[in-house]
Amino acid sequence: MLFFISFLLGLLLGSFYNVVGLRVPKAESIVAPRSHCPSCKRTLTATELIPVVSYVLQKGKCRACSARISFVYPFVELSTAMLFALAPLFVGWSAEVVVSWTLISLFAIVFVSDVHYMVIPNRILLFFAPLLLIERLWFAPLTPWWDSLLGSIVGFLMLFIIALISKGGMGGGDIKLFAVIGLVLGAKLTVVAFFLSTLVGTIFGLVGMAIGRVKRGEPMPFGPAIAVGTMIAYFFGEAMIEAYVNVMM
Ligand SMILES: [Zn+2]
């Protein structure tokens, strides 16, 4: 039952995060006007706003003008829902669930903005950074508690230095995002998150080139890879480090 409620909550929030991720970079209100078809500008009816279901029933097309609806919408809705439902299974029904749901929410919005505009909005980071800091210092602290602050510094410096060396391979948004990730994961797992993100980014790039969506040398958003890499590190990082140490011993 809790699993089902978490899934539904994720589905509804995921739908909202699509709107947030699309509108915040353009400095538009996230409540008004109501959602409309970007092609024919028609305001969507209630039945067209049901997460995932509308997309499937309409076969991914606008009912009026038949314009293709981006696959990003149902993907973000479904991923948010599945992660919301799975998180408690990984971290247990504890205060940590709130932290994981907050982190998933941040990544859902970052994913939408970065895929559509190649931007990770400052306003989103400025909203989530204090929220996650409060959660980490107040009701779901790391041990030791200051690992949050250390993680944030490590995340920021690591990406900042790589941005300097790679000259433009890393955007300012990616650097700031990793400072926020550090708050949640702590120093050690933030390093793991970075390596997994670059690995996932490489895979995305190769797949993108294979299916002809990405051209060699063309910039591509790093946000989606950071989201995937960091969630893996967050849920499985400790187990991965343990397995690695065991192999090395
Ligand atoms: Zn339309």
| Cα 108 to ligand 1 centroid, rounded to whole Å | 24
Please tell me the distance from the alpha carbon of residue 207 to that of residue 78, in angstroms, as a whole number.
21
Who has greater pLDDT, 217 or 206? 206
How far, in Å, from the CA of 58 to the mean position of ligand 1?
12
Ligand 1 centre and the CA of 180: distance in Å?
37
Task: State residue 216's pLDDT score.
Answer: 78
* pLDDT given at position 168: 67
Measured CA to CA, the distance from residue 127 to residue 167 in angstroms comes to 28
Cα(33) to ligand 1 centroid in Å equals: 16
Report CA(220)–ligand 1 centroid distance (Å): 28
- pLDDT, tens digit, for every residue of 69-102? 999 999 999 999 999 999 999 999 999 999 999 9
- Residue with tokens 């997309």, as numbered in its chain: 55
Report how far ligand 1's centroid is from the alpha carbon of 76 (Å): 20
CA of 45 to the centre of ligand 1 (A): 12
Whole-number pLDDT of residue 248: 86
Helix ranges restricted to H, the chain: 2-23, 53-57, 72-91, 96-117, 122-134, 147-166, 172-210, 223-248
Alpha-carbon span 7 to 174, nearest angstrom: 28
For 37-66, how does the pLDDT look when each residue is reduced to its tens digit (9 = 90+)? 989 999 999 999 999 999 999 999 999 999
Q: Is 209 exposed, middle or buried (0-12, 13-18, 19+ CB in 10 A)?
A: middle
The pTM assigned to this predicted structure is 0.95
pLDDT at 169 over 80: no
* pLDDT tens digit sequence for 5-29: 999 999 999 999 999 999 999 999 9
Is the separation of the CB atoms in 162 and 210 below 8 Å? no
Strand partners, 61: 68
Q: What are phi and psi of 95, to 5 degrees?
A: -60, -25
Distance 69 CA to ligand 1 centre (A): 9
Structure tokens that stand for 50 in this block: 């049901």
The Å distance, Cα 42 to ligand 1 centre, comes to: 6
Instruction: Average the pLDDT over 178-204 and give the result.
Output: 97
223 CA to centre of ligand 1 in angstroms = 28
Which pLDDT score is estimated for 38?
A: 87
Looking at residue 220, its pLDDT comes to 86
**Alpha-carbon span 200 to 198, nearest angstrom:** 5
| Structure confidence at residue 95 (pLDDT) | 96
What separation in Å is there between the alpha carbon of 174 and the centre of ligand 1?
33
State residue 141's pLDDT score.
96
Q: How far is the CA of 34 from the centre of ligand 1 (A)?
A: 14
Angle subtended at Cα 72 by Cα 50 and Cα 27, rounded to the nearest 5 degrees? 90
Q: What is the mean pLDDT of residues 218-240?
A: 94
The Å distance, Cα 118 to ligand 1 centre, comes to: 24
> What is the token pair recorded at 202?
């490489």
Q: How far is the CA of 38 from the centre of ligand 1 (A)?
A: 7
From ligand 1's centre to the CA of 81, what distance in Å?
26
CA–centroid distance, 169 to ligand 1, in Å, is: 37
Question: Which of 84, 61, 91, 64 is CA-nearest to residue 73?
Answer: 61
Distance 35 CA to ligand 1 centre (A): 11
Whole-number Å distance, alpha carbon 22 to ligand 1 midpoint, is 17
Give per-residue pLDDT as tens, 96-153.
999 999 999 999 999 999 999 999 999 999 999 999 999 999 999 999 999 999 999 9
CA dist., res. 131 & res. 165, Å (int): 32
